[in-house]
A and B are shown apart, each in its own frame.
Chain A
Amino acid sequence: DTAVSQTPKYLVTQMGNDKSIKCEQNLGHDTMYWYKQDSKKFLKIMFSYNNKELIINETVPNRFSPKSPDKAHLNLHINSLELGDSAVYFCASSRFSNTEAFFGQGTRLTVV
């Protein structure tokens, strides 16, 4: 059973399109995150949610909108995709903010 699962694994789309990435965790964690990994492998926090409430929005363009329908799910919707949005997006979860974070397998987004 995968602890943190994201879909899709690969996403290729044209500029200007809108797309969503879904994330689910079965660990019973209260906190979930979205991270962006760029071409240089740098991992940058985008959003964090605790008990379905947005805690951190790390200066992400408002074209990115996370939604947490319940504590086990955190989805990411991206409007008007741009070339610079191409990256690998990781969902993660943790019990507390200073305990192990479990990452999903990532979604490789390519905007053409």
Chain B
Amino acid sequence: QQQVKQSPQSLIVQKGGISIINCAYENTAFDYFPWYQQFPGKGPALLIAIRPDVSEKKEGRFTISFNKSAKQFSLHIMDSQPGDSATYFCAASSSQGTYKYIFGTGTRLKVLA
């Protein structure tokens, strides 16, 4: 029940295309769903996050879609750029004192120039 399932494992997109990464969770106590971006040799950095009281959040080219009833959320990267090539992790955590972020298995995105 603590897992967050992420797909696909890897993704290749042409420059200007849309990248879509999906995640699913089971634990209904989760109330914070961030997406992290990691470049080689660096630590994960927050890209965008959503809470279950909204169904969508957009920041620039990055959008999270959230479906509470299906327990799924996804990251859309519009107009994908070569600089977006990185590994993306979805995660989930709870305010109920669990003190941990459960990460998905990661998606390696490559955007071709």
Which A residues contact B (CB, under 8 angstroms)?
Answer: 4, 31, 33, 40-45, 48, 50, 55-56, 58, 90, 92, 96-106
| B101 contacts A101, C-beta separation under 8 Å | yes
Contact of B43 with A106 in the complex, beta carbons under 8 Å: yes
- We find that the number of chain B residues with CB closer than 8 angstroms to chain A is 27
**Across-interface contacts of B43 in A (CB, < 8 A):** 4, 90, 92, 103-106
Contact string against A for B residues 35-77, beta-carbon threshold 8 Å, 1 for contact and 0 otherwise: 0101001111110010000000000000000000000000000
Q: How many A-B residue pairs have CB under 8 A?
A: 66
| Contact (Cβ within 8 A) A90 B44 | yes
Given contacts A97-B95, A103-B36, 19 further A-B contacts (CB under 8 A): A31-B99, A33-B99, A33-B100, A33-B101, A41-B87, A41-B108, A43-B103, A44-B103, A45-B100, A48-B100, A56-B100, A92-B43, A97-B99, A98-B32, A98-B94, A100-B34, A100-B49, A101-B46, A103-B44
The answer to whether the Cβ of B79 comes within 8 Å of any Cβ in the partner chain is no
Chain A residues within 8 Å of B44, by CB: 43, 90, 103
> Measured between C-beta atoms, what is the minimum distance from A111 to chain B in Å?
19
Kindly state whether residue B25 has any CB partner on chain A within 8 Å.
Answer: no
Which residues of B approach A to under 8 Å, CB–CB? 31-32, 34, 36, 38, 41-46, 49, 87, 89, 93-95, 97-103, 105-106, 108
List 21 interface pairs A-B (beta carbons < 8 Å), by A numbering: A33-B101, A40-B105, A41-B105, A41-B108, A48-B99, A48-B100, A55-B97, A56-B98, A56-B100, A90-B43, A90-B44, A97-B93, A97-B95, A97-B97, A98-B95, A100-B49, A101-B46, A103-B43, A105-B42, A106-B41, A106-B42
Query: What B residues does A43 contact at CB under 8 A?
Result: 44, 89, 103, 106
